[in-house]
Amino acid sequence: MQTQLKNWQKMTPVGRMFHYLGIFILKRKLGQFIALFFRTVASLFDSSHNFKSDSRNIILQTFFTGVEIFVPLFIVATLFGTVVIINVITLMGKMGFSDIVGNLMVVVIIRELSPILTAFLIAGRTGSSLTTYIGSMVINSEVDALATMGINPIRYLVMPSVIGGTIATIIMNIIFSASAIGAGFLVTKCAIYIIGIFPNLQMIIGNAPNLQISWNYLSTEIIKALTVSDFVFTIIKPLVFGIIITINACYQAMNIKRDIRQVPKATSRSVITSFLYIVFADVVLSLLNFISYMKNLSTII
């Protein structure tokens, strides 16, 4: 009698190696996280789909993630922009480097501060609300009901949130950079003007009102310092962060084990792990800056 071969016995040694690697990865949380991402991408090519409901969900998610977060994001951006501009200007007074102003502004605001802070704000708001929303659906077995109706929950719930959230993150990142520099400059000017009104304050602050900072100077310096890689990173960083936030939120929600008390736990876990993953991803993306640095180095030598 011929014994039935199991799946792994049918494979070639190389195939078996990949098979065990796959099992190893899928048992890890990070592996399942990445698997959910790939399933989301795969769900874009599902045979059963409804463009109308998908596009509506995507627009709703973009609106929710982007528009409703605008006010807190604008305030945070303006204040952080002010802080950075004041620090850079005072630093210039000490060191006397006038060239470095534009470079510092670009590196601090456009490259680092803006994507990270936007991602943190969106993780705190959209990530947590997504986890609660999908988590409650899992507990009420609405996700099961969707699946038994032949509607892929990954396509219906996860995919629109990922796409909408990512689009909103990219747009909000650009708005953050713009308002940090523009509104930050205005607030700095106002601060300098207010200090100028009260002469008594000058005793403490010194000759700060004498700082001559003009929009002309600041904008030309920043535009001079901008490179192509900065423009690329303004798109790539929020793209990666947006995907991380939304996929992580959905992953944490889908894993809730039918216990209502797990929802708040999953929500906090989703936000904290999002922060962690974002910082890790930021480090990895920052390493790419070395490439341009090395290129410059070879031209100098």
Partner 1 sequence: MLDEALKLEDVYLSTSELSGTQFSIPRAVSYFENIRASESNEDFQLIAGANLTLKLGETICIGGPSGKGKSAILRMIAGLARPLKGHIYYFGEYIPAERLTALEVAKRQVGYVLQNAALISNLRVVDNIALPLRYHKMGTNEEITKKVNMAMDLMRVRDFAKMFPHELSVGMQKRVAIARSWAMDPKLLLMDEPTAGLDNYNRRNLLPLIDNMRTMFKTSIIIVTHDLMIAKELDCNLVFLHKKKLTEPHSFDYWLRSDNEISKDQFRDLQSNEKF
Q: Does 144 participate in binding partner 1 (rule CB under 8 A)? A: yes
- Minimum CB distance to partner 1 smaller for 57 or for 62: 57
The stretch among 28-36, 86-94, 173-181, 190-198 that binds partner 1 (CB under 8 A) is: 28-36
Tell me the C-alpha distance between 246 and 123, whole Å: 8
- Can you read off the two tokens belonging to residue 68? 């409703």
Tell me the C-alpha distance between 195 and 237, whole Å: 38
Pick one of 103, 129, 132, 152: the residue that binds partner 1 (CB under 8 A): 152
CB of 19 to partner 1, least distance (A): 7
- In this structure, the chain runs to a length of 301
**Residue 192 and residue 92 in contact, taking contact as beta carbons nearer than 8 Å:** no
Pick one of 7, 200, 207, 299: the residue that binds partner 1 (CB under 8 A): 7
Tell me the C-alpha distance between 141 and 139, whole Å: 5
Q: Which of residues 262-291 bind partner 1 (CB under 8 A)?
A: none
- Minimum CB distance to partner 1 smaller for 38 or for 293: 38
Q: Does 142 participate in binding partner 1 (rule CB under 8 A)? A: yes
- Residue type at 57? N
Q: Does 50 participate in binding partner 1 (rule CB under 8 A)? A: yes
Pick one of 15, 22, 72, 93: the residue that binds partner 1 (CB under 8 A): 22
Q: Does 53 participate in binding partner 1 (rule CB under 8 A)? A: yes
CB of 277 to partner 1, least distance (A): 16
Q: Does 141 participate in binding partner 1 (rule CB under 8 A)? A: yes
- Can you read off the two tokens belonging to residue 205? 């602050």
- Binding flags for partner 1, 163-202, as an x/- string (CB under 8 A): ----------------------------------------
**Residue 269 and residue 250 in contact, taking contact as beta carbons nearer than 8 Å:** no
Tell me the C-alpha distance between 287 and 283, whole Å: 6
Tell me the C-alpha distance between 151 and 286, whole Å: 40
Element containing residue 131 per DSSP (H, E): helix 128-139
CB of 247 to partner 1, least distance (A): 11
- Binding flags for partner 1, 93-132, as an x/- string (CB under 8 A): ----------------------------------------
Tell me the C-alpha distance between 215 and 192, whole Å: 14
Contacts of 101 (CB under 8 A, 6+ apart): 88, 89, 92, 218, 221
Q: Does 12 participate in binding partner 1 (rule CB under 8 A)? A: no
- List C-alpha distances in Å: 285 to 25, 237, 281, 282: 23, 8, 6, 5
Q: Which of residues 207-266 bind partner 1 (CB under 8 A)?
A: 251, 254-258
- Can you read off the two tokens belonging to residue 66? 């982007």
In the complex, which residues of this chain contact partner 1 (CB under 8 A)? 6-8, 19, 22-23, 26-27, 32, 35-36, 39, 48, 50, 53, 137-138, 140-154, 156, 251, 254-258
